[in-house]
Structure 1
Amino acid sequence: MKTIKILLLGCMLLFTVQANAQDASAKLIKLMDEAATAWNKGDLDGYMALYSPKATMMMTTGRSGLASIRDLYVKYYFEDGKNKQDLNYTNYEVTMLGKDNALLTGVFILKANDKLKERKGTFSVIFTREKDGWKILHDHSG
């Protein structure tokens, strides 16, 4: 009887962990989609809200902080307060790295327009759960 109780408890724990991972996964994908919507509205501050104040990004010069991430977006992807190309994310895959950290990978697409051709690449971001919700701790896009 004791063995059955332990097995049932283990199964309940496994289902709870899986449900929590599915909830986190759905939340992270929703956050990425909301960030893309902000980008497409020309709202760089709204897009940047997804990043932790401690966030870093892998750049050609190495890891750079939040100010450098923002500078990169302003320099190459925005002009006169508007985005140069609409952004879309696809092919999301989430891997939980514990209950408060996750790896999210996928594909970004900067849509073609009359001035610029489509640009596409892969990305990986590490999310961490902070007091105000899930935030990107590290970004590696290519």
Structure 2
Amino acid sequence: MKEVALLLAAASLALGSPANAKPAPPQLAQIVSSMQASASGWNSGDLDKFMAVYSPSTETTFVSGNGLIRGKQAIADHYLKDFGFADSAKRGTLTFETLNYRPLGNRMALYIARYTLTYLDGKSASGVTSVLFRRDKGAWHIVADHSS
């Protein structure tokens, strides 16, 4: 819970100057919590936990340098193939830094973050992810993910 509070404080600073700072919307807290749970799954090598944030819809998409992938299972297969979840040295440790958040109505939101993968050999890889969330049955799920 302490990590969520710290992320929300950082997000508030990133979303506006202290003079104009408004409390972070509750949707952002829920989305940040979902992203943290996903990263926790990644870091523990639990692909199902990592993928739980993605919508089960066949229309869910993931875009990277390798192109467009459709559907939650195809996205999971991509991560399994490219990062070998059983091998923590190949998978690395995942963190997210909130860069921007924008509500898009009552059921949609855009979340932009910097992801960083840190490997056991001290090397790291980082990029930006733009994630479109949709709220269904009280939970926020990724319906489109563009990571570069």
- The interval holding the TM-score normalised by the smaller chain is 0.7 to 0.9
- Residue 116 of structure 2 is matched in structure 1 by 109
Following superposition of structure 1 onto structure 2, how do residues 1-142 of structure 1 map, counting pairs within 5 Å?
22-54=25-57, 55-59=60-64, 60-80=66-86, 82=88, 84-114=91-121, 117-131=123-137, 133-142=139-148
Q: Which has the higher strand share?
A: 1
Uncovered stretches (5+) of structure 2, i.e. residues with no partner: 1-21
Name the larger-Rg structure: 1
Counterpart of 2:61 in structure 1: which amino acid? T
Q: State the Cα RMSD in Å.
A: 2.1
Shift in Å, 1:81:
6.5
Shift in Å, 1:78:
2.2
8 Å contact kept, 2:93–2:118: yes
Counterpart of 1:91 in structure 2: which amino acid? T
SS of the residue 2:32 aligns to: helix
User: C-alpha distance in 2, partners of 1:45/1:123?
Assistant: 20
User: C-alpha distance in 2, partners of 1:23/1:102?
Assistant: 12
Aligned length: 123
Counterpart of 1:58 in structure 2: which amino acid? V
Q: How high is the TM-score relative to the length of structure 1?
A: 0.77
Uncovered stretches (5+) of structure 1, i.e. residues with no partner: 1-17
Identity %: 33
Shift in Å, 1:65:
2.0
